[in-house]
Amino acid sequence: MFQLLILGFMVGAYSTRELESACKNDIRFLLILNRKPAPDHNRFWYFTKKRLPNGVLENLFYQLIHYLKEEGDVNFGSLFIDGTKIEANANKYTFVWKKAVNKFEERLDVKIEILKLEVNEKSA
């Protein structure tokens, strides 16, 4: 069942109904099932929510990542951020471009330094 969940996350099937459908139609899932009947969405829900105590599933994922790292199958040399957009709840727009955020952050840092110097001069 854990193998099916991992494969589901890898192919973008996160909901229990998507996992159920993939088990019936996707050849990769059928290979893991090895001619066993496909589990329904209730079984996936029961496995993730009731069968495993809190934190166990997350711990299994971490163990898998560490195992893959030790085997040399995963390289953590590069970090990629899929984030050209950053959500901004206070903005009237639904997103803010990352370049703009970085530019305004730099300007804000300069203004803060100038204000610090002014306050230090006035207080001295």
What 48-53 contacts at long range (C-beta under 8 Å, 24+ apart), as own/partner pairs, is 48/5, 48/16
Q: What is the pLDDT of residues 52-109, one digit of tens each?
A: 777 788 888 889 888 988 998 887 776 555 555 555 555 555 555 677 777 888 888 8
For the chain, the structural domain boundaries read: 2-71, 85-123
Residue range 43-57: average pLDDT? 84
Using alpha carbons, select from 105, 85, 104 the residue that is nearest to residue 95. 85
Q: What is the pLDDT of residue 37?
A: 92
Residue range 10-36: average pLDDT? 92
Residues 6 or more apart whose CB falls under 8 angstroms from that of 23 comprise 4, 29, 30, 33, 38, 39
On whether the CB atoms of residues 104 and 111 are closer than 8 A, the answer is no
